[in-house]
Each structure stands twice: as C-alpha cells, then as structure tokens.
Chain A
Amino acid sequence: MRMRISRHHTQALAKGVIWVAAFSTLVVMFWILYQVLREGLPRLHFEFFLQAPRQMGRAGGISSTIIGTIALTIVAIVIATPLGVGTAIFLREYTRESRVSRVIRFGTDCLAGVPSIIFGLFGFVFFVIFLGLGWSILSGGLTLATMILPTIICTAEEAIKAVPYTYREASFALGGTRWQTIRKMVLPNALPGILTGLLLGVGRSVGETAAVILTAGSSFITPGSLFSPIRTMAVHFYILAREGISMEMAYATGAALILLILAINMAANWLMYRYVHRA
C-alpha cells in the first residue's frame, strides 16, 4: 500500500516539474518579446519608417535599413528558390534512394548545421573578394541564399512527398510526360508547402546578422543598385545596441524587427495549417 502511494506521489511531482518547465519556457519567450515591445512600440511612428537614419542612427528613422532588408531578402529568395525547389523535385520525382540522393541529402543536412558566421566568412572571401562583388546587396543576398537553401529544400521535399501518388498515376495514364506531371499536378498541389518554406527562409534572412555584416557591409546610405553596400534592420539594431549609440532607437528598431518576424511567422503557420488540413 505504501509503495502504491509513493509512486503516485512521484508521478504528481514529476508531472508538476514538467508543467513548470513548459510554463517557464513560454514565460521566457513572452518576457523577451515584451521587454523589447514595451519600450519600442511607443516609439514607432510613421516618420520612423519613412526617414533615413541621421547622426549614425541617433535621430531620423530606419527607411534605408528597411530597403536594405527587403532588397537582400529578395535576392536571397530569387536565387535560393529555383535551386531548393529543383533539388526537392529531383530527390522526389527523378530518383529513388540511391548513392546520388544520399550524397545530396548529406550535403543538405550538413549545410543546415553550418553556423552563420562560417557562411559570413565564406561569403566574404568568395563573393566579396574572389568574385569581386564587394560589400553589396548581391554578395549579401547570395550568401543568405546559400544559408536558407537547406530550409527550402527540406520543406519543398516534404510538400512534394505529401502529394498523393494517385495524382501522378492519373496524369501518366492520360499520357502526360514526367515533366508535364510535375508542372501540372505535383507543383500546384505542393505550392502551399513550398511557400511555407520560402517564408521561413525570408524570416531567417530578415533576422540574420553575422553573415550579413561580413558580406553586405553596414552603410546606412540608401542603396542605388545591386552593387551598393547596405545595412539591414537586424544589423542596424545590433550596431545601435552594441555601440550604445541610442537605446531609444535600438528599442524602436528592435520592436519593428520583432513585428516583422511575427508577421512572417504567422503567415507561415497559417499556410502550414491550411495545407495540413487540406491534404
């Protein structure tokens, strides 16, 4: 009888500890968001988004860093999407498990684990110096593209895998070629999943600092071309906070960054949710 009571006590205690652990994880997350938003949100005005930074970021707004963030992200997505989706198509539609596919998967898994500072070093020596692109939107965007490629490959592959095989059989039975089947049946049905992966890639690009600062520079002058150096919002936030230039501006920039990340993440989740429920 004593034994029985004690193991139920153990269970209650253990479950209590787990509840506390899960609850504190959520508390810490909300604490982080709250800390920045509480100080930052009141400082977000229209002018803040529309004016360029002045006096090293002590005054003015963040318009040029918004442009920088968008430009960099577009380059990264435009480069990484065809490579990532193409890889996923090859892995799912053109090959079975084979030595080639194992090598590709190994490369993707390893690439996913490489730290962003290593991508930064690589981007610096390869794009900035070796290819002579300088600190520019192009160098930064290409570096980010290599960084988000594994994410896009994985999500696209999952999405393509989730398209029922009967769809392909129906298309083949009607005389469709492999490419017609992929283009007319597989890709349209996998689109929401692929878009989710792209959004996750956008989120990573927007939040990245280490790789960007080494390849796109940190100039906050509004960029004129793909070869101009830029500063993204995340880099701007980092410089303001670390060099103690202006805590007010750092908070405001951080709040804008968090809102953007929240929006991207919510869109990705919404897509994922819809997609999971339709399939």
Chain B
Amino acid sequence: MFREKVLEKSFLLIALSSISILALIAFFIFQQGIPLMWKVGPNSFLLGDRWFPSKESFGIFPMIVGSFWVTLGSLVVGVPLGVACAIFLCELTPPAIAMVLRPMIQLLAAIPSVIYGFWGLIVLVPIIRDSLGGPGLSILAGSLVLGIMILPTIISIAEDSLRALPRSYKEGALSLGATHWQTIWRVLLPAARSGIASSVILGMGRAIGETMAMIMILGNAAQMPHSILDSARTLTTNIGIEMGYASGDHRQALFATGVVLFFIIMALNSLALFLSRRRRA
C-alpha cells in the first residue's frame, strides 16, 4: 500500500513537468527581456519604428507589422484551402480514399520548415520577381509558403469538428430536400463553426511562430513594409537572424521580442482552448 502511494505521488510529480516547463520558459524569457523593455520604455519598444541595435535603438513596430501581414496573408491562403480540404475528406470522398489521403496531409506537417523555406526560395521567389517585380523575397512569397505550412493544422482540426457533428443534422437537412452542398454550406459548416474557428486560431499561432522558412523567403529588411511585394521582418525572424551574434542589450532586446511573441501566442492559445471547451460543453 505504501508503495502504491509513493508511485501515485511520483506520477503526480512527473505530470506537473509540462506546466513547470511552461513556467520556466516564461520566467527565463521574461527575466532576460523585461528589464530592457523597461529601460527602453514599453512604448518606444513596441511602437518605435527604428531598429538599429548598434545605436541602441530598439523599436520592434516594423516586425509587429511584418508578422501581422505575413500571418494575415497566410490565413487568406490557408483557411479557404484548409476548410475545403476538410470538407473534401469528410463529405466528398469515400472513407477508403480519405484514409489514404489523411496520412499524406499529415506528411505536410512533418516536412521540416527549412525545406518549405528552400522551396519558397528557389520556386516562388523567382516567379514573383519575374512576374510581379520587386525583390521576390517578399510578404507575398512568405504568405504563400506559410499558408501551405498551416494547412495540416487547419485541416485536421476542422475535419474533427465536422466529424463530431451528430449524423441527424445531415440526415435532417437531406430529408427536407436540401442538396448535399446546401447541407454542407447551410447546416454542417455553421454547426461546426467554433471548431473551425479554433482551427484557424491554432493555424494563426503556427504562422506567427514560424521562423526558419520565413528567414529564407522574407528578405529580412528591418523596415516598415509598404506593399506585399516588399521584403519584411517578423518577430520570430528578428530573433532567429540576430541571436547568433547578439550580446548585451542587443541580446536582451531579442529576448524582449520573445516576450511580445510569447504574449501573442498565449492569447491565441487561450482563445482556441476557450472555443474548443465551449464546443465540448
């Protein structure tokens, strides 16, 4: 009996590891980043548009704007495509074929982000440069690649939420004489909307957090982008590019960039959790 008690307590201890790791991550990133943010002043750090680490000028507003545009662009590409694929897997294809297709879509999630970045660099960037002008390394190229990268997240969660709907919804709509498409569009999609919304939010989290692929295709200019053909820098790529050689205040400014990123991600995660909890309830 004593042995069982000890085991139970040790399993509890192990189980607290993930929450303690999360706390450790938050603690260490904040401890490195927050002092500099106060030194510079939260306002001029978040809203300053000049990033010149050598001149002690740390304003990350261009990166916030860059992250915003690239993420928005990836959603424009990824959401319609992802939801369409989810509908395809649930409604338009026999289960046997869906069973073959699903692992293929999961393979999209397994392809390393550096491979996506490389593909964007050698395929998309030249096409954009030649047909639309500009450097090619651009928000447009980044959005297209990110839009593909977030597909597995959107597809799998949207598909789960479509599948979780009671069969009677579909049967009811069809028996009232609605076409299959009317059933999908007017009944199934609205019924699954909170699940689809949480798939979009989680996809958004992935898009904001992506680093290596974006370093390779965004061009990384630390200035305010003015069009989707401009080069840009995101919060993540700012850290990824400069962390290799930064020291002192510069390094702390990168951690402060991480703090901002961490807050955005936590807000998105909580929103997605809230939505999926409501769905379950």
Residues of A within 8 A of B (CB): 7-8, 10-11, 14-15, 17-19, 21-22, 24-26, 28-29, 31-33, 35-36, 82-83, 86-87, 89-91, 93-94, 100, 103-104, 106-111, 113-122, 124-126, 130, 146, 149-150, 153, 177-179, 203, 206-210, 213-214, 234, 237-238, 241-242, 250, 254, 257-258, 261-262, 264-265, 269
Q: How far is the CA of A82 from the CA of B15 in the complex (A)?
A: 10
B113-132 vs A, CB cutoff 8 Å, 1 = contact: the mask equals 11111110111000000000
Q: How far apart are A250's CB and chain B's nearest CB, in angstroms?
A: 7
Inter-chain contacts of A265 with B (CB < 8 A):
103, 106-107, 110
Inter-chain contacts of B32 with A (CB < 8 A):
121, 125
Does chain A have a CB within 8 A of B96?
A: no
Residue pair B185, A14 in contact (C-beta under 8 Å): yes
B1-39 vs A, CB cutoff 8 Å, 1 = contact: the mask equals 001100110111011111111101100110010000000
Residue pair A25, B81 in contact (C-beta under 8 Å): yes
Residue pair A15, B84 in contact (C-beta under 8 Å): no
B139-180 vs A, CB cutoff 8 Å, 1 = contact: the mask equals 000000000100100000000000000000000000000011
Does chain A have a CB within 8 A of B57?
A: no
How many chain B residues touch A (Cβ–Cβ < 8 Å)? 85
Assuming A117-B239, A257-B112, is B118 touching A250 (CB within 8 A)? yes
Inter-chain contacts of A122 with B (CB < 8 A):
24-25, 28-29
Residue pair B202, A242 in contact (C-beta under 8 Å): no
Does chain A have a CB within 8 A of B205?
A: yes
Inter-chain contacts of A130 with B (CB < 8 A):
28
Inter-chain contacts of A264 with B (CB < 8 A):
110
Does chain A have a CB within 8 A of B221?
A: no
Q: Main secondary structure on chain B at its contact with chain A?
A: helix
Taking A15-B92, A25-B151, A86-B17 as known contacts, 13 extra A-B pairs with beta carbons closer than 8 A to each other, sorted by chain A number, are A7-B181, A10-B181, A35-B123, A106-B19, A108-B19, A114-B262, A121-B29, A124-B243, A125-B29, A149-B17, A150-B18, A265-B103, A265-B106
Inter-chain contacts of B205 with A (CB < 8 A):
113, 115
Q: How far apart are A224's CB and chain B's nearest CB, in angstroms?
A: 23
Q: How far apart are A141's CB and chain B's nearest CB, in angstroms?
A: 14
Q: How far is the CA of A119 from the CA of B22 in the complex (A)?
A: 10
Contact of A35 among B11, B108, B119 (CB under 8 A): B119
Q: How far is the CA of A126 from the CA of B119 in the complex (A)?
A: 34
Contacting residues of chain B (213-232) with chain A, CB-CB under 8 angstroms: 215-216
Nearest B residue to A91 by beta-carbon distance? B15
Contact of B114 among A26, A203, A209 (CB under 8 A): A209
Does chain A have a CB within 8 A of B69?
A: no
Contact of B182 among A7, A120, A257 (CB under 8 A): A7
Contact of A118 among B12, B116, B209 (CB under 8 A): B209
Residue pair B16, A237 in contact (C-beta under 8 Å): no
Q: Kindly specify which of B46-54, B58-66, B265-273 makes contact with the partner chain.
A: B265-273
Residue pair B85, A21 in contact (C-beta under 8 Å): yes
Residue pair B239, A121 in contact (C-beta under 8 Å): yes
